[in-house]
Chain A
Amino acid sequence: MTAHELLSQVLPSLLAGTSRRPLTTSMTKLQALSLTGQALRLSGPSRPTDYSLEPEVGDRRKVVPEDCRRALVRLLAGKKAQSPESDPLALALALTLERQRLRLHPFDLPRLEAFVRVYSARLGTQAQVWAQRGATAEDQRGFFEADDLTDATWHMAGYPAKARYIEERRRQDASAARNLVQQVWASENADGRVRLLKAIQVGLGNDDVPFLESLAKDRAPRVRDLALRLLSRLGRSGSSGLEACLERIERSQVGMLRKRPVLALRPPATVNDQGLATWVVETFGEIGLDDLARGLGLSAFELIEAAQKDEPFLFASLVMATAEGRLDLVKAVMAQGLSQAWEVLQSLPFDLSLWSVDNRVRWADAVVQPSSWGPSSLWSLTALFKRLESPISEGLFDAVLSSKAWSEFSRDKGKVSSETLELLAAVCPSGRRPRLRTLLDNFPGSLTTRATSFLEILTALEAHA
């Protein structure tokens, strides 16, 4: 029998069962089975000739240098591979790749699946395509580098890139940016509208009032609330936020020859010490410091000086100044001696995303005071790093290493962990890497492997830049 005859005449009987469909050949059942099986094997798998067209994905970033690839993959695909969002070294590398406009080698994308999935927006268009390869067509977003976006194409990017684009345009031309947002407003879902409205906060001004007032009837409560808060920041009615804040302020005067105002915060009786900071952020977080000062007949700087003896009020002033992006006011608050501000703030929902990266570092310099830290406060560097999205300044790094917290921590061999050293490496500014390397030499190699490898990768990446 030929192979064709075996497949057409014998195979059906084998599949159906020879008891139901006897063989019509003189072969035994097992001979028929063997020969048919071999005929199938020799015919091989079916080989299609029509295939899908793969989309071309352009990515202008340079690929990570070859001599860095292996160390990069080993660092990011190791034991912490499954939770890159909690690995400061993973965030640090993503920020570095973004800053240096580098992308992962395409062959390494599958090996670094978890890392790419979490940080794809920072890793270039190829990484974004890779991260979204399983998404439905409705959930996929356009793949654009932030630098490539224009007024004509910005709305096609993913939300992080769109929001950043609008923030940047607001700094250049607030009205033009607002017009761009208004053009696409109706086609955005609630999440998108909230994110774009947050971006409008950059350069907020009176010209934005008509647009904000038009949002009073937006179908999403979150959008309506945010618009009201922004209006109240502009001193417009429609929000009772400012009035509610003013009601909580006790005003008095001191001085013989020259009366100076003294301000103190009086929180509701229902707010205890543990909940005070949260209440402050919730109540004052969306109020402008200038507006509050105006309501009290003072300038912002006069308000800060008047609150110098009231820590809760100083803290509230810090929250307001931070929300508005006012580094000058932040410094003025901290100059009044507010202590442990960072220790309180780090676990609260405050936003630095409207600040440029450089100003965030300056904010940290003003607010974070390692000299007052206990040993457990070292871990707050994690929260700080996530908010700064940058290494800390050299001055702040030196302050951390000079702190009592660090010296107690590093003396206690039982306390030192690889995670602490990795955190230090992640926040370390480039000018302090030699100092950190020397410090790492004092610890067992098993604790410093990742941190050391990370520093070597950074050095190699910068050498190629």
Chain B
Amino acid sequence: MPLSLDKIEALAPDQSSLDAARKLLKSSSWPTLAKDDTSLVWGECQGSGATPYRVVISESDGGYKCTCPSRKFPCKHSLALMWMRAEAKVAFSPSPVPPWVTDWLSRRRGPSNVVENVTPPAKSIRQTSEPEVIDAKAEARALAARERNAQEREASLLAGLDELDLWLEDQVDSGLAGFVTEAGSRCRLMAQRLVDAKAPGLATRLDAFPSRLYALPEPQRPLAVVEELGLFHLMAQAYRRQQLLSPELRADIRLVVGWTLTREALLGDAAALRQKGNWLVFAVRNEVQPDKLRRTETWLMDDAPEPHLAVLIDFVPVSVGTVSSGYAIGDHFEAELVYYPSPLPLRALVAQQQGPTMSDPKPLSTTEVDLSEAYSAYERALALRPWLGDWPILFGTARLRRQGSTLFLCSVAQPSWGGLPLHPSQNDLASPLLSLETFSGAGIVDGKTVWLAWAETSLGRWVCS
């Protein structure tokens, strides 16, 4: 089925999809545009998310697939790729078929079916319009409105933090040991209040706390309550005193509480930390949050002698269904990342990807440090950012040991240092590593456990996937 503009018009679900696709007809939005020698065409499109969307088209039977969460089929990315292919104004590099395209082919049920007996809305490529001219007065009015809303939100937030403090005091009065049995209901109520106070970051964290709490062994739970609730007061105080904090810490606590920094604003911030490099994806994690958003974390490290680390975070409504990450473990690509402001920059966006994403295996470049020394880096990070959540560590030597039913990632250079408990969800997957004397790798520490992401071993590479 050679692509033509007529066919693309017929496929498009509506005019607005074609309008949106037109805006993507810039090769600069597509770090990857490739084809094979049969009929497969694929590309990666930098959308509004942290990771690019992957799009593939089969010209032979009209099949297509995009990793974006859109519920329109075909989505604007698929339409844009078809459009560029049909117009033939942009070059598609002949390339070996990457694994994510092979995976799609293996899961296909058959050619995409055209819905019959339904009159589609009228749509036309000719009618897609160029971007509108900006109205300065309207912009000024919108800016004033935004500032007004921000002030109202600040006031609401501070009131919400006062309410949070009262709630915390109540818990301390009645005893945190008893909190454990009622954590679910108590946290849910206060989280609702924080949502109302427009502090969604704190609300999500509090709402998610009970499930993290119950995942811990029972003896550890009361102390975990002390830690977490203590942290909430610390964050509230930090927010109240943000003017006394460094700019990075101030920006950080505002993001933690729930203020958002849009992609455009971050990319437009000249002071934002940027880092160019060849980035390797060493971990991808998915989690469904209590607010029904699926959070996807893509962990990266570059190939500098002292590697830089970053995490890309995307949120997609659960109702959209399972959407694969833009990147898979082992992918590597040249890109410039821009970091969200923080005293410990970690969360980032891909500002500009140069060139396609490669999937061929590349070894993890870890430092020579032992696990014990790598963990010290986490402890230093904790001192700089008291509400530190997950933190990546790279180690040159470690081994896995067992005590009872718990696995531990242990120091090799200093056996007396002991080991960090492995995240219980990894017990089965990591068990084969028990037979190995030592390995290097990368993990993510949350203060209680280490989640092993990648290990380079004498038996080859082990990844958590």
**Taking beta carbons and an 8 Å cutoff, which residues of A are in contact with B?**
11, 14-20, 29-38, 40-42, 44-45, 47-52, 54, 56-57, 66, 70, 74, 78, 105-107, 109-111, 113, 130, 133, 444-446, 449, 453
Contact = CB atoms under 8 A, between A and B. Distances in A.
B234 interface: yes
Contacts of A30: 165, 168-169, 172, 233
A49 B459 contact: no
B226 A29 contact: no
Contacts of A78: 106
Contacts of A31: 233
Contact of A449 (B106, B223, B233): B106
B176 A15 contact: yes
A19 B231 CA distance: 21
A42 B378 CA distance: 10
A195 to B, nearest CB: 30
A37 B108 CA distance: 51
Nearest to A50: B403
A105 B418 CA distance: 29
A105 B459 contact: yes
A40 B173 contact: no
B234 A113 contact: no
Nearest to A70: B99
A47 B417 contact: yes
Contacts of A444: 110
Given A30-B172, A453-B106, 19 more contacts: A17-B173, A18-B172, A29-B169, A29-B173, A30-B165, A33-B226, A33-B230, A34-B231, A37-B226, A38-B234, A44-B375, A48-B403, A48-B419, A70-B99, A74-B106, A105-B459, A106-B432, A110-B429, A445-B108
Interface centre among A47, A113, A130 (most CB of B within 10 A): A47
Contacts of A57: 435
A37 B227 contact: yes
A52 B401 contact: yes
A47 B435 contact: no
A19 B103 CA distance: 60
Given A15-B226, A41-B447, A48 B418 contact: yes
A55 to B, nearest CB: 9
Contact of A34 (B99, B173, B233, B431): B233
Contacts of A47: 408, 417-420
Nearest to B224: A40
Nearest to A21: B175
B428 A110 contact: yes
B222 interface: yes
A51 B234 contact: no
A38 B417 contact: no
A51 B98 CA distance: 42
Contacts of B383: 42
11 contacts: A15-B177, A15-B222, A19-B174, A42-B379, A45-B420, A47-B419, A51-B410, A51-B419, A111-B429, A445-B105, A445-B108
Contacts of B222: 15
B146 to A, nearest CB: 33
Contacts of A51: 401-403, 408, 410, 419
Contacts of A14: 172, 175-176, 226
A463 B449 CA distance: 44
B105 to A, nearest CB: 7
Contacts of B223: 11, 40
Contacts of A16: 175, 177
Interface centre among B375, B410, B418 (most CB of A within 10 A): B418
B96 interface: no
A15 B106 contact: no
Contact of B432 (A20, A33, A49, A109): A109
B379 A44 contact: yes
B209 to A, nearest CB: 13
A18 B431 CA distance: 44
B431 A133 contact: yes
B435 A54 contact: yes
B173 A107 contact: no
Given A19-B174, A30-B168, A113 B428 contact: yes
A30 B171 CA distance: 10
A29 B175 contact: no
A444 B228 CA distance: 56
Contacts of B172: 14, 17-18, 29-30, 32-33
Interface string B211-246: 000000000001100111111011001000000000
Contacts of A66: 460
Contacts of B103: 74
Interface string B427-465: 011011011000000000001110000000001101000
B43 interface: no
Given A34-B231, A44-B447, A19 B173 contact: yes
B226 A40 contact: yes
A14 B174 CA distance: 9
B178 interface: yes
A34 B223 CA distance: 12
Given A41-B227, A47-B420, A105-B460, A446 B435 contact: no
B47 interface: no
Interface in B247-292: none
B355 interface: no
B94 interface: no
Nearest to B234: A34
B402 A54 contact: yes
B329 to A, nearest CB: 13
Contacts of A35: 230
Contacts of B421: 45
Contacts of A29: 169, 172-173
Interface centre among A16, A41, A57, A106 (most CB of B within 10 A): A41
Contacts of B173: 17-19, 29
Nearest to B110: A446
A79 to B, nearest CB: 8
A60 B229 CA distance: 54
Q: Which 9 A-B pairs have the closest CB atoms?
A: A37-B230, A17-B175, A47-B418, A51-B401, A106-B432, A15-B177, A34-B230, A37-B227, A34-B234
A67 to B, nearest CB: 12
A127 B231 CA distance: 45
Interface string B150-179: 000000000000000100110011111110
Given A18-B172, A446-B110, A107 B462 contact: yes
Interface in B382-440: 382-383, 386, 401-404, 408, 410, 415-421, 428-429, 431-432, 434-435
Given A14-B172, A30-B172, A133-B431, A37 B234 contact: yes
Contacts of B418: 47-49
B109 interface: yes
Nearest to B178: A17
Given A51-B403, A52-B403, A445-B108, A37 B231 contact: yes
A37 to B, nearest CB: 2
A30 to B, nearest CB: 5
Contact of A42 (B231, B382, B434): B382
Contacts of B234: 34, 37-38
Contact of B459 (A45, A70, A106): A106
A10 B108 CA distance: 61
B393 to A, nearest CB: 13
Contacts of A453: 106
B227 A40 contact: yes
Contact of A45 (B175, B233, B417, B449): B449
A40 B103 CA distance: 45
A36 B402 contact: no
A36 B226 contact: yes
Given A47-B418, A110-B428, A33 B168 contact: yes
B275 to A, nearest CB: 28
Nearest to B450: A45
Interface string B81-125: 000000000000000000100010110111000000000000000
A36 B229 CA distance: 10
